[in-house]
Amino acid sequence: MKRLFIIALGIFIFLLLTVITQIGGVVYILSIIVCRWWKREFRFKRLLIFLLFYVIFTLVIVPVIAPIFGRERIQNSDKIKPSNFGTVLLNRNYVKPELNLLLSKTSKRLRNTEIEIHYLDANFPFLDRFPLLPHLSHNDGKKLDISLIYESKNAEISNKQKSFSGYGNFEHPKAKEHNQIRTCLSSGYYQYDYPKYLTLGKINEDLKFSEKGTAILIKKLLASDNLGKLFIEPHLKERMKLNHSKIRYHGCRAVRHDDHIHIQLK
């Protein structure tokens, strides 16, 4: 019975690491093999070997292999940064080269502004149709989530976020704005606002949503010919007075988009 429990636990850990990071399950198996081969015992041996191998794979090996599958890491710059390091550490920062080019061109259009592109989840490094949970469509290297822009009380642009994960801090509809969230939830799509459970904690409570800053960022993104679609919640589109054929509604089967912007290639 104990042996069966250990096997079941190992399978569970393998699947969990694979779902969260794509490569974690393989690294976990490799660390087990190395632990059995290396007889020297010390405290937290398996955990330390796993963490060492995982960091090496994530930061050194995967970026070299990913281009074979048509993907590459998002290229960071003074204008392009991850909203949190977890996106990088979990290998959720891979895109098609065309999307990197889109980001680069957009950053140049933002050169004379204080606005930065802070990205959230993109895609895993390998294999189309491999799900990047909890997202429904981030599985082909063409999708990327980007943080909204916030500002201080005196209307100065801030590139800080309002939650540790970058998700789940919603900019709710105002009284006279179209409330698509209420429509979806009342229609039984209870997952629509579940990112509120994924904040990992709220921060920078003094910041507020920047209509002007977010509108500028969206307009610069829309200037790219290879942008296929941009998703944002209808009430924010209305509030920022945005009217463009590439700004679409994502549907009730997805999750609400008043905590981030979703873009995707054609």
Q: Which domains does the chain have, with CATH numbers?
A: 2-67 (no CATH), 74-265 (3.30.1380.10)
Average pLDDT, the chain: 94
Token code pair at residue 58: 């994530």
Over the stretch 69-107, which tens digit does the pLDDT of each residue have? Answer: 999 999 999 999 999 999 999 999 999 999 999 999 999
Measure the CA–CA gap between 256 and 147, rounded to whole angstroms: 13
Token code pair at residue 110: 């933002």
55: amino acid identity, one letter? V
Torsion sign (Cα): 56, 57, 59, 64: positive
| pTM of the predicted structure, to 2 decimals | 0.92
pLDDT at 66 over 80: yes
Write phi, then psi, for 241 (nearest 5 degrees).
55, 50
pLDDT at 1 over 80: no
Token code pair at residue 260: 């981030």
